[in-house]
Structure 1
Amino acid sequence: MGAVSRFPYPKDVWSPAGGWWSRPKTWKSNTVIAALGMAVTLGAVWRVSAEKEVRYQQPKRWIPSMMVN
């Protein structure tokens, strides 16, 4: 059904993704750190965008960036 048993592979091949059957021991903490980094970056971009936003007319409905002023 598409599964491949593990086979010998060259040890001298380097891959930024970890190579064949990569299972790093710290994948959970690495995932949390990456998610926090993305959340902080997104928050900073959102804040700068909301501060630079110019409205020539009042919006007819509520939008999330109205909370940041």
Structure 2
Amino acid sequence: MGAVSRYPYPKDVWSPAGGWWSRPKTWKSNTVIAALGMAVTLGAVWRVSAEKEVRYQQPKRWIPSMMWAKQYKDQE
């Protein structure tokens, strides 16, 4: 159902995705490195966002960002 048997393809064509039927040997370590890079970037963005967060109107109920916002750290 839609599968194509492997056929000869031009070897001189370059593709950033790896070309036809790419199976890099280091895909597991590449995936781990990419995931760690994304986690570090997300953590840095989260930290900067939490440091800059200011609410000018007090929330009427508890919200999750109150756990890490500086504005609410001293109200515990």
Give the alignment's TM-score, normalised by structure 2.
Answer: 0.80
How far 1:38 moved relative to its partner? 0.3
How far 1:3 moved relative to its partner? 0.4
For the residues of structure 1 that align with 2:62 and 2:33, how far apart are their CA atoms?
A: 33
| Structure 1 residues 6 and 64: alpha-carbon distance in aligned structure 2, compared to 1, 3 A threshold | same
For the residues of structure 1 that align with 2:27 and 2:62, how far apart are their CA atoms?
A: 39
| Structure 1 residues 50 and 29: alpha-carbon distance in aligned structure 2, compared to 1, 3 A threshold | same
| Structure 1 residues 63 and 47: alpha-carbon distance in aligned structure 2, compared to 1, 3 A threshold | farther
How far 1:7 moved relative to its partner? 0.3
How far 1:50 moved relative to its partner? 1.1
How far 1:63 moved relative to its partner? 3.4
| Structure 1 residues 46 and 53: alpha-carbon distance in aligned structure 2, compared to 1, 3 A threshold | same
Unaligned runs of at least 5 residues, structure 1? none
Larger relative contact order (Cα-Cα within 8 Å, sequence gap ≥ 6): 1
How far 1:58 moved relative to its partner? 2.3
| Structure 1 residues 21 and 2: alpha-carbon distance in aligned structure 2, compared to 1, 3 A threshold | same
For the residues of structure 2 that align with 1:20 and 1:61, how far apart are their CA atoms?
A: 54
Identity %: 97
Unaligned runs of at least 5 residues, structure 2? 68-75
Choose 1 or 2 for highest CA Rg. 2
How far 1:54 moved relative to its partner? 1.2
Q: How many equivalent pairs are there?
A: 68
